[in-house]
């Protein structure tokens, strides 16, 4: 299984005030808060940790079929700025992040999986519906190319806990994948 999350740093800077009273305590453990305040750019560390939590949560929901909202429960440990582990309810997920000036993209998997196909892309239109459609189109495009299937036969439908699943005509495919979009950026990750 796989999860991924992308954070548009320019959007995050205006959309969320991480310095707002109460925000850090709701989201981050003491250990994570120490990481934030000891890092050179606390803002970046906030969103590295956030995307680690979010990508790990996406796998956890696939495994348990139970949704919840408690980011603090997903506990991060960092081996380096780009590699870490997230632990929740006794489960551990390995994360890898790509960081640049524009975005942070994190992929979470069950073990250090090398067979991951992942891409980030730019989105012109930042309206949610357009981004959503565009991201689905990108994923369907790559699935079509990779497995030589007709685009028109491939669909994505969300299950009852909101996890997207791939369908070939009406047959559910077992392909594990994850889609994310935020602001001007989108991303997907597929397990080969």
Partner 1 sequence: MTKEELITSLKKIVKPYIQDEDAFEKLSENTDFINDLKINSANLVDVILDVEDEFDIEIDNEAMEKMLSVKAAMEVITTKLKEK
Per CB under 8 A, 27 contacts partner 1: yes
Per CB under 8 A, 16 contacts partner 1: yes
Q: How far is the CB of 69 from partner 1 (least distance, A)?
A: 6
Q: How far is the CB of 137 from partner 1 (least distance, A)?
A: 18
Residue of the chain from 31, 72, 151, 172 that contacts partner 1 (CB under 8 A):
72
**Three-state secondary structure along the chain?**
CEEEEEEEHHHHHHHCCCCCCCHHHHHCCHHHHHHHHHCCCHHHHHHHHHHHHHHHHHHHHHHHCCCCCCHHHCEEEECCCCEEEEEECCEEEEEEEEECCCEEEEEEECCCCCCEEEEEEECCCCCHHHHHHHHHHHHHHHHHHHHCCCHHHEEEEECCCCCEEEEECCEECCCCEEEEEECCEEEEEEEC
Residues numbered 152 to 171 that lie near partner 1 (CB under 8 A) are: 158, 162
Q: How far is the CB of 48 from partner 1 (least distance, A)?
A: 13
Per CB under 8 A, 68 contacts partner 1: yes
By C-beta, is 23 or 147 nearer to partner 1?
23
Per CB under 8 A, 111 contacts partner 1: no
By C-beta, is 20 or 171 nearer to partner 1?
20
Residue of the chain from 13, 15, 119, 141 that contacts partner 1 (CB under 8 A):
15
Q: Please say whether the beta carbons of 158 and 164 come within 8 A.
A: yes
Q: How far is the CB of 31 from partner 1 (least distance, A)?
A: 16
Q: How far apart are alpha carbons 189 and 187 in whole angstroms?
A: 7
Positions in the binding site for partner 1 (CB under 8 A): 12, 15-16, 20-23, 26-27, 50, 54, 67-73, 127-129, 158, 162, 182
């Amino acid at each position: 299984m796989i999860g991924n999350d992308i954070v548009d740093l320019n959007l995050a800077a205006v959309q969320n005030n991480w310095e707002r009273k109460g925000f850090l305590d709701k989201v981050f453990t003491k250990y994570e808060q120490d990481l934030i305040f000891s890092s050179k750019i606390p803002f970046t560390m906030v969103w590295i940790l956030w995307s680690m939590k979010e990508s790990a949560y996406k796998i956890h929901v696939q495994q348990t079929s139970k949704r919840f909202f408690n980011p603090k429960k997903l506990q991060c440990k960092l081996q380096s700025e780009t590699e870490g582990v997230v632990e929740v309810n006794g489960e551990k997920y390995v994360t890898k992040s790509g960081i640049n000036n524009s975005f942070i993209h994190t992929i979470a998997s069950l073990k250090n999986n090398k067979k991951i196909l992942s891409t980030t892309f730019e989105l012109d239109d930042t309206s949610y519906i357009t981004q959503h459609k565009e991201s689905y189109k990108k994923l369907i495009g790559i699935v079509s190319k990779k497995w030589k299937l007709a685009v028109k036969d491939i669909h994505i439908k969300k299950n009852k806990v909101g996890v997207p699943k791939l369908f070939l005509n009406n047959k559910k495919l077992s392909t594990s994948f994850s889609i994310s979009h935020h602001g001007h950026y989108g991303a997907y990750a597929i397990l080969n």
